[in-house]
């Protein structure tokens, strides 16, 4: 029993990442009708926002410290970050320690900007082109973005730690009456799940309860009619693209402490996210989220030793297997709408 | 002749000449000169040109004609490679049975995957094929290790049975792949003054097989069957209403292109008898899509051009390093020289993928028909200029 709960928990954080990326993909697909293969790259750029902010905050200058001596007896030079000069030493190091949560604030404008530039500069010209062309051009864009990041940050993963306060693990089992240390779970993953839930909730609330969201939903249902009513739907959709980019970016920022960011992390997630979107049903937001968590949890169940003993190798293929079965039995995915991508 | 139209014969002849004289054409610079690094006429690279050409020709039969964008074709290439290496391990080092088996295995794979995937179209089809390919890739790495030898890759070893051949050569080495005794790696060098030309058995085998596959592709394009496939692309619904079932046609196209991929995989293993799972990864599938698009999907010569183009530039661009760049722009003033080198640096050497991505985007944006369309546009504008010149002179003359 405790093993099962542990696997569910393990699946949740990966599932949250899938759900967040798939949510953005579906938003873009539902609003603009564009299949965006560069979405994984946006996730990756988000993670590198965290890296960048960490580096910016750690920018330092050398100061001669008279109290410390090196082995020759000369005064030691120490690196002092600029933030320490501005905010004092205690606050300064706390800021550096908290660079990942701070990167959330930093990444939102950056990601929205990147998203809007991408939409206005490139995607806009591909609305009327076939889906194959959209896939190909965004695939090319993903390669370019990935290579640029590789040029700047190198090919090795860059460790980006979470704040010290969250480094431990949470003994979840005790709450449910199991032995101590039976079900332990790192704090940061718990936070990741909560964060993902908040973001997903916020996106849904935004679409459901604001006028802007209402217009966007109307535009998703019937773009032309909304345009005929005198609403500039294109601008709204551009903003939605920026928003989707920000969601992917935030997913990436928060994922940085879980897995050290490297330049191909986006591609690794992209393939799975597409499977998630298709399983959930193209164009269905709840479907994307549900499928994200479902596949994340299934994946971690399949990697249990008990399961692997019965079906060797199942952990490697479970997601694809589920996707194939669902696509063949429910052609529109779990919650797909009629009339979306039927051709 | 051979059931080809006049235009197709010219096309085929051009490809044949290019393929058979490639050792000359690709070696325009004398050996030892500073430009010799741009020579591509060595067997290893030329083999890659034609093998990927075969792969792309096959992919084009599916994507170019029916419009079904498969993102999982590398799985067939990988399956072909593995079966060819198994043939080398169990039967003999002759390449013919290996290539035949790799085509059969890839074809069987394609029947199964195609039967399932072709129930859906559009992006669903792409995702399904991608899912199957990733599944094969993951399985090849994990559970199927007894068959695929996991991360190390499948290789021929000294203690393989090789029922019809010999286990080891007389001097105790691993026997090499051959065609009835003709070793694949055997080559002769022709020296003409400072030029060096290499003719390898392996390359010519690949080239001849490529020409045969190209010929078959032309026949498929021009056949009623090819017409049906085009109909699937332009309007499947109307095809249904006319009372035709599109599924058998698309499945046939899928299997044919899968067998082409298997053939390419088998040839790859024949040139260098090892097979690894990374040949099945989805980036490898992406590469063949790229080649086809770059050359021109749906055209006959496009995929061959695209494959050659990408493999050539991959090889050349990734070789250029800062030293070579400095050598080129040495005539510039020092500060400017460093600037130019710094500007070009990200695009060459290890940054070759950046160039590839940019090139790919530009092609899709401005030239959806690929290189072939570019050539046609240039030809058309030349012709138009000529005809307007004629027209002008014709119309002005009477007035004078």
The closest of A15, A57, A67, A4 to A295, measured between CA atoms, is: A15
Are B364 and A328 a contacting pair at CB < 8 A?
no
pLDDT score, position A43: 93
pLDDT score, position A337: 67
pLDDT score, position B160: 78
Q: What percent of chain A is predicted at pLDDT more than 70?
A: 97
First vs last C-alpha separation in chain B: 50
Chain A CA closest to residue B136: A317
Q: Which of A132, A146, A324 sits opposite B69 (nearest CB)?
A: A132
Chain A CA closest to residue B360: A140
User: What does the alpha-carbon distance between residue B197 and residue B41 come to, in Å, rounded to a whole number?
Assistant: 7
Tokens of B315: 């090889």
User: What residues are paired with B198 via a beta bridge?
Assistant: B189
pLDDT score, position A343: 44
Q: Which of B282, B346, B357 sits opposite A151 (nearest CB)?
A: B346
User: What does the alpha-carbon distance between residue A98 and residue A145 come to, in Å, rounded to a whole number?
Assistant: 27
**Would strands A184-186 and B195-200 be described as parallel, antiparallel, or unpaired?**
unpaired
A274 to chain B, any CB pair closer than 8 A? The answer is yes
Label residue A154 left, alpha or beta by phi (over 0 means left) and psi (-120 to 50 means alpha). left
Would you tell me how many other CB atoms lie within 10 Å of the CB of residue B353? Answer: 18
A25 to chain B, any CB pair closer than 8 A? The answer is no
User: Has residue B210 got a pLDDT over 50?
Assistant: yes
| Contact predicate B218/B64, CB 8 Å | no
User: What does the alpha-carbon distance between residue A287 and residue A265 come to, in Å, rounded to a whole number?
Assistant: 24
B80, B91, B92, B150, B156 from B162: Cα distances, Å: 19, 4, 5, 22, 10
| Contact predicate B84/B291, CB 8 Å | no
C-alpha dihedral sign at A285, A288, A290, A296: negative
User: Which residues in chain B are closer than 8 Å to A313, comparing Cβ atoms?
Assistant: 138-139, 142-144
Map residue B153 onto helix, strand or coil. coil
User: What does the alpha-carbon distance between residue B197 and residue B39 come to, in Å, rounded to a whole number?
Assistant: 10
Segment (H or E) for B74: helix B74-90
Residue B211 lies in a domain: yes
Tokens of B103: 């085509």
Q: Output DSSP code: residue B173.
A: P
Q: H-type helices in B182-333, by residue range?
A: 201-222, 224-234, 236-241, 246-271, 282-295, 302-317, 322-328
pLDDT in tens, A59-91: 888 777 777 777 777 777 777 788 777 777 778
Map residue A7 onto helix, strand or coil. helix
Q: Which of A38, A323, A330, A340 has the highest number of chain B CBs within 10 A, making it the mutation to test binding with B? A: A323
pLDDT top residue among A70 and A234: A234
User: What does the alpha-carbon distance between residue B10 and residue B31 come to, in Å, rounded to a whole number?
Assistant: 33
Would you tell me how many other CB atoms lie within 10 Å of the CB of residue A291? Answer: 30
pLDDT score, position B398: 46
pLDDT score, position A338: 63
Map residue B167 onto helix, strand or coil. coil
Q: Which of B120, B127, B286 sits opposite A275 (nearest CB)?
A: B127
pLDDT top residue among A271 and A20: A20
User: Has residue B393 got a pLDDT over 70?
Assistant: no
Q: At B319, give phi and psi (nearest 5°).
A: -85, -25
pLDDT score, position A248: 92
| Contact predicate B16/B211, CB 8 Å | yes
CATH topology of domain A2-52+110-329: ABC transporter involved in vitamin B12 uptake, BtuC (1.10.3470)
User: Which residues in chain A are closer than 8 Å to B138, comparing Cβ atoms?
Assistant: 313, 316-317, 320
User: What residues are paired with A80 via a beta bridge?
Assistant: A61
User: What does the alpha-carbon distance between residue A22 and residue A12 come to, in Å, rounded to a whole number?
Assistant: 15
Q: What percent of chain B is predicted at pLDDT more than 90?
A: 25
Residue B348 lies in a domain: no
pLDDT score, position A89: 78
Residue with structure tokens 């933030």?
A: A83
Q: Which of A43-57, B101-115, B154-168 has the lowest mean pLDDT?
A: B154-168
Look up the CATH number of the domain holding residue B221. 1.10.3470
Q: H-type helices in A172-313, by residue range?
A: 172-175, 187-209, 211-221, 223-228, 233-255, 265-280, 285-302, 305-310
Average pLDDT, chain A: 84
Q: At A76, give phi and psi (nearest 5°).
A: -85, 140
Domain total of chain B: 1
**Over residues B352-359, mean pLDDT:** 84
Residues ≥6 apart with Cβ < 8 Å to A128: none
The closest of A223, A161, A185 to A33, measured between CA atoms, is: A223
User: What does the alpha-carbon distance between residue A208 and residue A218 come to, in Å, rounded to a whole number?
Assistant: 11
pLDDT top residue among B183 and A254: A254
Domain boundary assignment for chain A = 2-52+110-329
Q: What percent of chain A is predicted at pLDDT more than 90?
A: 18
Q: Which of B122, B143, B286 sits opposite A341 (nearest CB)?
A: B122
| Contact predicate A253/A107, CB 8 Å | yes
Domain that holds residue B246: 6-282
Instruction: Quote ipTM for the complex.
Output: 0.78
User: What residues are paired with B154 via a beta bridge?
Assistant: B275
User: What does the alpha-carbon distance between residue B285 and residue B73 come to, in Å, rounded to a whole number?
Assistant: 5
Tokens of A57: 């905050």
Q: Which of A40, A277, A278 has the highest number of chain B CBs within 10 A, making it the mutation to test binding with B? A: A278
pLDDT score, position B297: 85
pLDDT score, position A340: 54
Rg (CA), chain A: 23
Tokens of A340: 């979306």
Residue B359 lies in a domain: no
Q: Using 50, 70 and 90 to split pLDDT, how confident is the model at A190?
A: confident
pLDDT in tens, A300-335: 888 887 777 777 777 778 888 888 888 878 877 787
User: Which residues in chain A are closer than 8 Å to B139, comparing Cβ atoms?
Assistant: 313, 316-317
Q: Which of B124, B286, B368 sits opposite A139 (nearest CB)?
A: B286
pLDDT top residue among A20 and A74: A20
pLDDT score, position B267: 93
Are B135 and A321 a contacting pair at CB < 8 A?
yes
User: Has residue B395 got a pLDDT over 70?
Assistant: no
């Amino acid at each position: 029993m405790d093993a099962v709960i542990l696997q569910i928990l393990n699946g949740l954080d990966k599932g949250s990442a899938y759900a967040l990326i798939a949510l953005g993909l579906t938003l873009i697909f539902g609003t603009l009708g564009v299949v965006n293969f560069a979405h994984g790259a946006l996730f990756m750029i988000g993670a590198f926002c965290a890296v960048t902010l960490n580096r910016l905050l750690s920018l330092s200058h050398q100061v001669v410290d008279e109290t410390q001596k090196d082995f020759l007896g000369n005064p030691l030079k120490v690196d002092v970050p600029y933030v320490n000069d501005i905010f004092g030493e205690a606050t300064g190091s706390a800021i550096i320690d908290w660079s990942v949560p701070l990167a959330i604030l930093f990444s939102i404008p950056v990601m929205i900007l990147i998203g809007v530039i991408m939409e206005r500069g490139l995607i806009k010209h591909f609305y009327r082109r076939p889906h194959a062309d959209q896939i190909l051009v965004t695939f090319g864009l993903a390669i370019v973005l990935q290579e640029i990041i590789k040029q700047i940050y190198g090919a090795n993963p860059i460790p980006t730690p979470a704040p010290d306060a969250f480094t431990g693990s949470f003994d979840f089992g005790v709450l449910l009456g199991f032995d101590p240390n039976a079900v332990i779970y790192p704090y940061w993953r718990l936070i990741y799940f909560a964060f993902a839930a908040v973001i997903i909730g916020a996106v849904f609330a935004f679409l459901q309860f604001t006028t802007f969201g209402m217009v966007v939903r109307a535009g998703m249902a019937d773009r032309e009619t909304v345009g005929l009513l005198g609403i500039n739907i294109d601008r709204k959709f551009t903003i939605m693209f920026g928003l989707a980019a920000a969601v992917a970016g935030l997913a990436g920022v928060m994922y940085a402490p879980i897995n050290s960011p490297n330049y191909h992390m986006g591609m690794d997630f992209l393939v799975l996210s597409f499977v998630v979107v298709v399983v959930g049903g193209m164009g269905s937001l709840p479907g994307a989220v549900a499928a994200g968590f479902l596949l994340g949890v299934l994946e971690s169940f399949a990697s249990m030793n008990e399961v692997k003993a019965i079906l060797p190798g199942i952990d490697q293929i479970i997601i694809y297997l589920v996707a194939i079965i669902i696509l063949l039995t429910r052609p529109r995915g779990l919650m797909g709408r009629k009339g979306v991508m039927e051709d | 002749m051979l059931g080809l139209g006049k235009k197709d014969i010219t096309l085929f002849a051009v490809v044949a000449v290019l393929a058979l004289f490639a050792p000359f054409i690709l070696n325009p610079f004398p050996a030892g000169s500073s430009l010799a690094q741009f020579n591509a006429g060595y067997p290893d690279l030329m083999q890659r040109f034609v093998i990927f050409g075969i792969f792309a020709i096959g992919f084009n039969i599916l994507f170019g004609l029916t419009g079904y964008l498969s993102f999982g074709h590398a799985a067939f290439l990988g399956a072909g490679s593995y079966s060819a290496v198994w043939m080398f391990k169990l039967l003999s080092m002759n390449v013919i049975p290996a290539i035949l088996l790799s085509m059969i295995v890839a074809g069987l794979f394609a029947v199964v995957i195609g039967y399932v995937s072709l129930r859906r179209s559009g992006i669903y089809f792409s995702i399904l094929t991608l899912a199957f390919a990733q599944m094969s890739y993951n399985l090849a790495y994990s559970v199927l290790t007894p068959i695929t030898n996991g991360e190390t890759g499948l290789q021929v070893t000294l203690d393989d049975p090789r029922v019809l051949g010999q286990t080891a050569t007389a001097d105790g080495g691993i026997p090499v792949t051959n065609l009835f005794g003709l070793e694949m790696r055997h080559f002769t060098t022709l020296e003409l003054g400072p030029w060096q030309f290499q003719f390898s058995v392996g390359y010519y085998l690949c080239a001849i097989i490529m020409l045969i596959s190209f010929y078959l592709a032309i026949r498929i394009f021009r056949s009623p069957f090819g017409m049906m496939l085009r109909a699937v692309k332009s309007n499947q619904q109307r095809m249904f209403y006319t009372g035709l079932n599109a599924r058998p046609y698309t499945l046939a196209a899928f299997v044919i292109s899968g067998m082409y991929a298997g053939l390419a995989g088998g040839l790859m293993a024949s040139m260098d008898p090892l097979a690894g799972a990374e040949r099945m990864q989805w980036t490898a599938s992406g590469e063949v899509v790229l080649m086809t698009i770059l050359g021109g999907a749906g055209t006959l010569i496009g995929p061959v051009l695209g494959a050659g183009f990408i493999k050539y530039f991959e090889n050349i661009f990734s070789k250029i390093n800062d030293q070579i760049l400095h050598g080129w722009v040495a005539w510039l003033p020092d500060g400017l020289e460093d600037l130019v080198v710094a500007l070009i640096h990200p695009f060459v050497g290890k940054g070759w993928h950046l160039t590839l991505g940019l090139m790919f985007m530009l092609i899709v944006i401005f030239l959806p028909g690929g290189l072939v369309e570019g050539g046609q546009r240039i030809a058309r504008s030349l012709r138009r200029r000529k005809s307007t010149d004629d027209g002008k002179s014709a119309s002005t003359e009477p007035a004078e």
